[in-house]
Amino acid sequence: MSFREKTLQLSEIDLADNTYRITTQTDNRDLVVSINEIGLIHPPLLGTKNSGFFIVSGFRRIAAFLRLERTSIAARIFGSEIDPIEYVKCAIADNALQRPLNLIEISRSLNLLSNYFNDYNKLASAASSFALPNNPTLIKKIIRICHLPWSIQNGILSNTISLAIALELDQIPKHVAVYFANLFSDLNLSLNKQREIITLTKEIALRENISIHQLLEEKYFLEIRNNSELNKAQKSELLRRYLKQRRFPSIKKAEKEFEKNIKDMKIGNGVKLIHPDGFEGSNYTLCLNFKNMIELKNRQEILEKIISHPSLRKILD
């Protein structure tokens, strides 16, 4: 592989050509400081095209030069007869062999390599040379990630969205997937809660013959999401409870019956009867709050009243 070294004007480089960009890092302050103090240690790699040059590796270094308001940069230029796959190999190696790549960077790397291999087994073999995933099944999953909307990719980078959820979002309309990604980021939901919300909304939309987007844009959803008086946990709980009740109307009916019976018992303060989550199971919880023996004795009287009340029998039956 032949290179020639040359100092050229930054204006000669096509900065809009991101064909070989691997890195997702946009913060180049560390490079700015380093270059300003000790200079450029590793020149970027550039390819040649009719209108000038394009970047193969060194996107952040060139961005740092621009930030420093430099007008020229020393670079290594590929020979004009080079096989394009060498651009890909150098771009990946410059990133993957220096530091662990994140999932988006891995996906970008695999996509670049996939242009030169006609099946996943050959692609997996080539990927292994760069410490990339070499399992064809896993590659099939990861390779789609860098084509997802940026809000989903950003969720992956911030560890808000897992690979499993990203793949689920890839199966639904983009505008709906973006809505989910933003919702999951806003509420900082766990993997299980994310999957629960996706599943419930899909099933409700199918059951009621409406689109998922229609469901998510309903007044109740918007009111909860935009309610500044609720914290993330409260919003999450309200949304999930609403979806469960709407998906399973029997739960809503059971809750109304439960609330009516509790009201009939006139329990008062200091005592709380809690039903099983989603009325799945038969274990109820009774909470007693007291500060002294007098209050505890009072709670005992209330407890005896609850035990003998006919509404308790209705609840347990």
Q: What is the pLDDT of residues 104-130, one digit of tens each?
A: 999 999 999 999 998 999 999 999 988
Q: Residues 240, 198: contact at Cβ < 8 Å?
A: no
Per-residue pLDDT, averaged over 87-114, amounts to: 92
Q: Which helix (H) or strand (E) holds 288?
A: strand 285-288
Confidence of residue 43 (pLDDT cuts 50, 70, 90): very high
pLDDT at 305 over 90: no
Strands 52-57 and 13-14, sheet pairing? parallel
pLDDT at 296 over 80: yes
Per-residue pLDDT, averaged over 60-80, amounts to: 92
pLDDT of residue 137: 94
- Contacts of 256-263 spanning 24+ positions with Cβ under 8 A: 257/314, 258/315, 261/311, 261/312, 261/314, 261/315, 262/311
Interior angle at CA 51, CA 49 and CA 52, nearest 5? 65
pLDDT of residue 1: 61
pLDDT of residue 152: 95
Cβ atoms within 10 Å of 214's Cβ, excluding its own: 10
Burial of 287 (0-12, 13-18, 19+ CB in 10 A): exposed
pLDDT of residue 34: 92
pLDDT at 250 over 80: no
What's the pTM value of the predicted model, to 2 decimals?
A: 0.76
Percentage of residues in the chain having pLDDT higher than 90: 62
Per-residue pLDDT, averaged over 295-314, amounts to: 84
Specify which residues 271 forms β-bridges with. 288
Choice between 314 and 73, residue whose per-residue pLDDT is larger: 73
Instruction: Quote the longest CA-to-CA distance of the chain.
Output: 93
pLDDT of residue 97: 77
Q: Residues 185, 214: contact at Cβ < 8 Å?
A: no
Choice between 4 and 256, residue whose per-residue pLDDT is larger: 4
Q: What is the pLDDT of residues 136-146, one digit of tens each?
A: 999 999 999 99
Percentage of residues in the chain having pLDDT higher than 70: 99
pLDDT of residue 121: 94
Mean pLDDT of the chain: 90
